[in-house]
Amino acid sequence: MPSQATHDVAWAAVHETHIGAVFLVGDRAYKLKKPVDFGFLNFTDRATREQVCHREVELNRRLAPDVYLGVADVTGPDHHVCDHLVVMRRMPENRRLTSLVREAAPLTGTIRDLARILVTFHAKAERSPDIAAQGSRDAILARWDDSFKQVRPFHEAVLPHEVACEIERLTHEFLAGREPLFHRRQTTGRIVDGHGDLLADDIFCLDDGPRVLDCLEFDDRLRWVDGLDDVAFLAMDLERLGATELGELLLGYYAEFSGDPAPPALRHHYIAYRAFVRAKVACLRYAQDDDTAAELARTYADIALRHLRQGRPRMILVGGLPASGKSTLADTIADRLGATVLCSDRIRKELAGIAPETPAAAGYREGLYDSTHTRRTYTELLRRASELLGLGETVVLDASWTDAAHRQAAIDTAGQAYAPAIPLRCWAPATVTSERLASRTASISDATPEIAHHMTADTHRWPEAHTILTAGQPEDSLTQALGYLE
């Protein structure tokens, strides 16, 4: 990492945002609140600005106690108090995380330190029923909808209409089917009084550790967030700076240090949410005649849309005849996507109370494979899939899917969870499948060549499925499947 030596910098400077200005003088920084009203904040009253200044110092001392020094009054010629300033220790510009990222400085250790700091901060953060309520699905939907409402006047002028509309559609789709996920986050203590505005520009990487500044102080409810949502803001900002790998590293370390079991879909959703918040801010800056804001808003909207697309929980049906390679493909897809595999053969034996590896061979549609057991198996398979989709997980369903009624039931289940269902049918030549059946050992499947023959004649057509050729290497089959999935 570069030395913390003092660079030649102006003794005095001014930085301005849409809600305030920072005056840099010597070794001090003075922050002024603008008397503006954006609906989501109203600083037009001086007493409100004074209160917010004191609140800012109080809140930011949680993460940077040696930086936030207090509040000073601004007086006019008649010694009348006319405004207020947050007084801060001035941070070295060359240690700003944004600058270090742009310089391609080695930051792995810094990102790890930041993750530990944020995990500790969230572990100690205030929790309460009121705070937890802000992590509900409906509260998050309300925040999204507020942003959508504020951004709509900027459709076309700033954001492409089709991009903005797809962001709204995918957001509503995700939230409609994920109430169990957000409820679990609430009940497991994941909603905290956090930072609320983690940006690389407000983090300074000093020799004795990072300083995280400038938390959101004007509305407590916007700071009462899921800890993952808090960290996702910084991950999003690192991606915007072209350092996507650092954002992923931050989220990985945070999950490791905090033991957070959040599914990948929730990470994507929170990154998208934070990107759209910044798109909204850029739109407001555009309305203040900032010529650079339109392009920035579009950049943030593109990030939001990309993550909403990647974060859609999906039901992936992997079917085919015995020895067609469906279990191998299902496992490789799940490994690549971080998804959960549900296997009909395993569930069938579990419901019967026997170990998966225990043989239960029988004639075609007899014994453990008669219509009653098969119906119970698929019902349970889809029940578990529905539960996992509600928790934000992508599920890979490994079954033969030879019956059109079972496939329709799966599509209906996915629809109820607001998740797309993608059907993949594995196929290999009969010579390949026959050889696989003859050489099988320690398989949980009880299929024999005779069973495979009967199933071939009894399979309902599946024209909507994508056919995956599985006679080659597993990696080749995975490549085909990912082409349809992505």
CATH number at residue 243: 3.90.1200.10
CATH of the domain at 80: 3.30.200
Strand partners, 318: 398, 424
Residues 244-261: tens digit of each pLDDT:
999 999 999 999 999 999
pTM, two decimals, is: 0.89
**Tell me, what's the pLDDT at 6?**
42
CA atoms of 18 and 258, how far apart (whole Å): 34
DSSP notation for 308-331: HHHT---EEEEE-STTSSHHHHHH
Question: 360: pLDDT confidence band, cut at 50, 70 and 90?
Answer: confident
CA atoms of 133 and 135, how far apart (whole Å): 5
Question: 368: pLDDT confidence band, cut at 50, 70 and 90?
Answer: confident
Instruction: Kindly tell me if the per-residue pLDDT of 240 is higher than 80.
Output: yes
Please indicate, yes or no, if residue 6 is contained in any of the structural domains: no
Q: Are 304 and 345 members of one domain?
A: no
Q: Show which of 289, 310, 331 is a domain's final residue.
A: 310
CA atoms of 326 and 450, how far apart (whole Å): 19
**Tell me, what's the pLDDT at 7?**
45
Q: Which residues contact 173 (CB under 8 A, 6 or more apart)?
A: 312, 418
Q: Are 109 and 221 members of one domain?
A: yes
Instruction: Kindly tell me if the per-residue pLDDT of 4 is higher than 70.
Output: no
Please indicate, yes or no, if residue 3 is contained in any of the structural domains: no
Q: Are 49 and 186 members of one domain?
A: no
Residue 428's closest CA among 298, 327, 302, 282? 327
Q: Are 411 and 341 members of one domain?
A: yes
Q: Map residue 34 onto helix, strand or coil.
A: coil
**Tell me, what's the pLDDT at 2?**
37
Strand partners, 87: 30, 70
Specify the DSSP class assigned to residue 91. Answer: P
CA atoms of 62 and 64, how far apart (whole Å): 6
Q: Show which of 25, 54, 89 is a domain's final residue.
A: 89
Q: Which of 126-130, 201-205, 215-219, 356-360 has the lowest mean pLDDT?
A: 356-360
CATH of the domain at 367: 3.40.50.300
**Tell me, what's the pLDDT at 1?**
36
**Tell me, what's the pLDDT at 67?**
97
Q: Are 306 and 320 members of one domain?
A: no
| For helices 293-310 and 264-287, angle between their N-to-C axes, nearest 10 degrees | 160
Please indicate, yes or no, if residue 2 is contained in any of the structural domains: no
Please indicate, yes or no, if residue 180 is contained in any of the structural domains: yes
Q: Which two tokens stand for residue 452?
A: 């495979």
Specify the DSSP class assigned to residue 201. Answer: G
Question: 9: pLDDT confidence band, cut at 50, 70 and 90?
Answer: low
Instruction: Kindly tell me if the per-residue pLDDT of 5 is higher than 80.
Output: no
Question: What total number of domains does the chain contain?
Answer: 3
Q: Are 264 and 122 members of one domain?
A: yes
| Amino acid code (one letter) for 424 | L
Q: Are 133 and 214 members of one domain?
A: yes
Mean pLDDT over all residues of the chain? 93
Q: Show which of 37, 57, 89 is a domain's final residue.
A: 89
Mean pLDDT of 94-118: 97
Q: Residue written as tokens 């996915």?
A: 414
Q: Which two tokens stand for residue 70?
A: 């207090």
Question: 445: pLDDT confidence band, cut at 50, 70 and 90?
Answer: confident
Please indicate, yes or no, if residue 389 is contained in any of the structural domains: yes
With contact defined as beta carbons under 8 Å apart, do 257 and 115 qualify? Answer: yes
Q: Are 327 and 272 members of one domain?
A: no
Q: Are 400 and 428 members of one domain?
A: yes
Q: Are 256 and 124 members of one domain?
A: yes
CA atoms of 191 and 140, how far apart (whole Å): 12
Please indicate, yes or no, if residue 289 is contained in any of the structural domains: yes
Q: Which of 109-123, 403-417, 450-464 has the lowest mean pLDDT?
A: 450-464
Q: Are 122 and 209 members of one domain?
A: yes
Please indicate, yes or no, if residue 265 is contained in any of the structural domains: yes
Mean pLDDT of 188-211: 96
**Tell me, what's the pLDDT at 78?**
85
Question: 483: pLDDT confidence band, cut at 50, 70 and 90?
Answer: very high
Instruction: Kindly tell me if the per-residue pLDDT of 126 is higher than 70.
Output: yes
Mean pLDDT of 140-148: 97
Q: Are 187 and 212 members of one domain?
A: yes
Mean pLDDT of 106-122: 97
Q: Structural domain of residue 378, as residue ranges? A: 315-485
